[in-house]
Copies of this chain bind each other. A is one copy, B any other.
């Protein structure tokens, strides 16, 4: 308890600035170690090391067209009026080469992807050929090397194909497969333990009853963590009891612990003193709205985020602090993961100097309107909103007409923006 004053039922003596907490997290969070990932599961993952090609692609001269492998020089002068006739001495199919060598005046029927036989240096495309009785009439000349994929023209053995930190695209995984890789070294996905506390909470799928409400934060947080590349460990809703919450905080499997509820200054807010006791409570209370009771600390290398139980505060604290950290642990950019747009404000936003505000706005007709609500529990405001505007602590607010940056809540097109 040395590092904190017990704030329960007393309030926060002093709140940290949002930027102070962000700087602390930037210093404290580094990408996790690498793990081998099967190439088929690699799209979306982040490379932990440069990938070098161990083979040439193509590894053999490869027909890039369906047609006839020829010696290009043989076809010079061919035309529709004066087609050239070549002897068809065989066929090369993908995976089944022609085993002989092609001489002057000869052709081998080839399909796209087949190895071009020895002696041939070009493929004349099927559309300008007419085959009959063992011979093919070619009605257009083809230059040497035309329609042949040369060895290593795509990728040369030894070259760096993809660099550390790359978030793998579908086609990147295709290239890794082509290179003959079975696994690839990726940054391990952060494992996230949810600690959902509250005697009032019913599990997802229940009907709210009396003064008991349904746990919605675990559903929302699970989806946010998945979006940010993390993996949710099994969890259950915990009662507001010190011993039970202590056990959850002591579990060692996680890289990140998200405590939802029981994190403020109420009598039953056991998490903050427990974090201080088991590790360090680096911040508790932030000069922001909503989410002022947010906090973070560390226990044995795990980063613990104290997220208020109120759904909007929980979302806000997650997006400010936990989300960027989970992305960074997984090797991704800390930056906002959806698009941002700059639009003018329909109405002014009031804030206060010294406090960072997280304001939900609706974008309509290319302008941002603050969602008129009060209270951090109004989760429906984040459903109605297109995204959020951050009012930094040095501003008292933002006037009507001011151009603001909106952090969009998803990648769907907001109303009023051209497609």
Contacts and interface: CB of A to CB of B under 8 A. Distances in A.
Contact of A64 (B40, B149, B375): B375
Given A199-B95, A220-B174, A126 B211 contact: no
A145 to B, nearest CB: 10
A175 B40 CA distance: 34
A204 interface: yes
Interface in A220-240: 220-224, 226-227, 240
A115 interface: yes
A13 to B, nearest CB: 10
A204 B382 contact: no
Contacts of A60: 210-211
Interface string A256-275: 00000100111111000000
Contacts of A109: 267
A409 interface: yes
Nearest to A212: B95
Given A126-B11, A178-B213, A169 B383 contact: yes
A269 B79 CA distance: 27
Given A58-B213, A175-B379, A413-B335, A182 B205 contact: yes
B11 A174 contact: no
A198 B113 contact: yes
A155 interface: yes
Contacts of A23: none
A377 interface: yes
Contacts of A370: none
Contacts of A315: 170-171, 174
A190 interface: no
Contacts of A200: 93-96, 113-114
A149 B377 contact: yes
A268 B213 contact: no
A378 B40 contact: no
Instruction: Categorize the interface residue count of chain A.
Output: 35 or more
Contact of A208 (B125, B127, B178, B224): B178
Interface in A137-158: 149, 153-155
A93 B210 CA distance: 13
B198 A333 contact: no
A180 B199 contact: no
A128 to B, nearest CB: 8
A50 B224 CA distance: 23
Task: List 4 tightest A-B contacts by C-beta distance, closest first.
Answer: A95-B200, A11-B127, A170-B223, A94-B200
Given A161-B380, A174-B315, A180-B206, 18 more contacts: A43-B219, A66-B264, A66-B269, A93-B267, A94-B268, A96-B199, A96-B200, A112-B308, A113-B261, A162-B383, A167-B412, A169-B409, A170-B222, A172-B383, A175-B216, A175-B380, A333-B413, A335-B413
13 contacts: A9-B126, A10-B127, A38-B205, A64-B376, A94-B198, A95-B212, A161-B383, A169-B409, A171-B315, A174-B311, A175-B380, A177-B216, A180-B207
